Amino acid sequence: AQTVTQSQPEMSVQEAETVTLSCTYDTSENNYYLFWYKQPPSRQMILVIRQEAYKQQNATENRFSVNFQKAAKSFSLKISDSQLGDTAMYFCAFMPEGAQKLVFGQGTRLTINP
Amino acid sequence: NAGVMQNPRHLVRRRGQEARLRCSPMKGHSHVYWYRQLPEEGLKFMVYLQKENIIDESGMPKERFSAEFPKEGPSILRIQQVVRGDSAAYFCASSPRPMNTEAFFGQGTRLTVV
């Protein structure tokens, strides 16, 4: 069974700092997708960034980037120049290619302090 | 193009009552997925439906839970004889094709059983 582990239940940084959220996963699949979702207090699930496992280049979206280490089954999210609006729960998720469901980690509660 | 619409946003039911949660997918999306989020946990897959068909219900509890996605109208997640343990946030996602990487989530329905 595939599992996703987020080892940091909570993190807190000052505005403008850089923060890295960790995620590891366990799978025997070779082709899959990885995602980071943001869930602010409104509860809306917002896709932050996604990575295809067959792509070696790390995905980036503005201030958000990932460090994808396939051999180590690690998929961390780096948020640069953090902003107050980044305060939210962040969930790492995994989906095998061709599958129809996401497997989520337990989440990391990130607080950006002014 | 409106996003995925879920209603109600909040639903309170007494133990033993029925809960009906609705999900209207984005226009042009014929694939719907339901997830459940227990307090302080990540989302867990429940069921995947296409129009008039249940494709994968491997995450659905065996009793009291059912889902449908009729030819016309929204997808419905139905919970009969609710118990306290059913209290959770229920999320719906939709995609234009079988879940690849283009699924969009609704804002969820928070069910409270008293």
DSSP letter string over A9-24? SEEEEETT--EEE--E
Structure tokens at B96: 């234009």
pLDDT of B70 above 80: yes
Residue B15, amino acid: R
Task: Report CB contact under 8 Å: A45, B105.
Answer: yes
Q: Any idea what DSSP says for residue B55?
A: E
Q: Chain A contacts of B44, Cβ < 8 Å?
A: 104
Average pLDDT over residues A78-88: 97
Task: Report CB contact under 8 Å: B42, A101.
Answer: no
Residue A26, amino acid: D
Which residue from A4, A91, A101 is facing B45, i.e. has the nearest CB?
A101
B23-56 core/surface letters (b: 16 or more CB in 10 A; e: else)? bbbbeebebbbbbbbeeeebbbbbbbbeeeeeeb
Average pLDDT over residues B54-73: 94
Average pLDDT over residues B60-71: 95
Which pLDDT score is estimated for A13? 97
Q: Distance of CA A57 to CAs A16, A46, A77, Å?
A: 26, 23, 14
**Closest residue in chain B to residue A96, using alpha carbons only:** B100
> How many Cβ atoms are within 10 Å of A30's Cβ, its own excluded?
10
- How close B73 comes to chain A (CA, Å)? 22
Which pLDDT score is estimated for B28? 87
Q: Chain B contacts of A104, Cβ < 8 Å?
A: 42-44
Task: Report CB contact under 8 Å: A103, B45.
Answer: yes
pLDDT of B1 above 80: no
Which pLDDT score is estimated for B12? 98
Mutation target for B interface from A4, A43, A55: give the one with most B CBs within 10 A: A43
Query: By percentage, how much of chain A surpasses pLDDT 90?
Result: 80
Which pLDDT score is estimated for B91? 96
Return d(Cα B86, Cα A34) in angstroms, integer.
Answer: 29
Mutation target for A interface from B7, B105, B107, B110: give the one with most A CBs within 10 A: B105
Band of the pLDDT at B99, cuts 50, 70, 90?
Answer: low
Task: Report CB contact under 8 Å: A99, B43.
Answer: no
Which pLDDT score is estimated for B100? 58
